[in-house]
């Protein structure tokens, strides 16, 4: 038996998406909620991922796990900067979109730029939710809910801290151009910037 935790997600503004109760995702705007996980734009071998990621990072990003609430290192960061994907370096969120939700996980009101996060219908654990995944490598990030601050998007991107690498050097709104520690420039294209 599936239990709907919230009404179908409506992503407001320029990124309007309606998740229907039927078999198809209906898109109004540029983003859509996928019924099934699409193939990633950037791929890595399991061997590479296991060598680069901690056990926790691998479990969460590749096996769609969840970290315990209140344990993530990015939860209390208030500095100016950007949050990049742990797996591929894609810029996912800006610090000025981060807010304290009281849930125990880093929460954001919007993604850094269009396409940096994709949405997938998630029917795991007897619920229907909207999964947030990296728009480039498909890494599981967390979920998006409609209970965020109403004065902004009204959304709460509830993200596992282990999925994020904070970069305080890049100011909010800055173009991502310098290489991260993994040799990628944050665009999600591992060939770019080489």
Residues acting as catalytic residues: 158
Rounded Cα distance between 107 and 59, Å, is 20
Neighbouring C-beta atoms of residue 110, cutoff 10 Å: 22
Burial label, 63 (beta-carbon count in 10 A; 0-12, 13-18, 19+): exposed
Phi, psi of 48 (to 5 degrees): -60, -45
Rounded Cα distance between 80 and 174, Å, is 11
Token output for 165: 């690498």
- Detail the DSSP E strand segments found in the chain: 3-4, 10-11, 17-19, 25-27, 33-34, 82-85, 91-94, 98-99, 107-108, 117-122, 127-134, 140-145, 156-159, 164-167
Under 8 Å between Cβ of 88 and 42: yes
């Amino acid at each position: 038996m599936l239990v709907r935790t919230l009404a179908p997600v409506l992503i407001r503004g320029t990124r309007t998406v309606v998740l229907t109760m039927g078999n198809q995702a209906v898109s109004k705007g540029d983003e859509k909620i996928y019924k099934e996980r699409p193939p990633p734009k950037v791929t890595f071998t399991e061997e590479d991922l296991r060598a680069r990621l901690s056990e926790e990072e691998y479990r969460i990003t590749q096996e769609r796990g969840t970290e315990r609430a209140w344990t993530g290192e990015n939860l209390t960061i208030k500095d100016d900067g950007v949050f990049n994907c742990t797996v591929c370096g894609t810029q996912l969120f800006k610090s000025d979109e981060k807010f304290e939700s009281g849930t125990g996980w880093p929460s954001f009101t919007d993604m850094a730029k269009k396409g940096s996060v994709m949405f997938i219908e998630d029917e795991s654990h007897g619920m229907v939710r909207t999964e947030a995944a990296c728009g480039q490598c498909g890494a599981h990030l967390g979920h998006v809910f409609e209970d965020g601050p109403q004065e902004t998007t009204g959304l709460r991107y509830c993200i596992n801290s282990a999925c994020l690498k904070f970069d305080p050097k890049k100011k909010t709104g800055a173009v991502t151009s310098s290489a991260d520690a993994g040799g990628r420039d944050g665009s999600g294209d591992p060939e770019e910037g080489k």
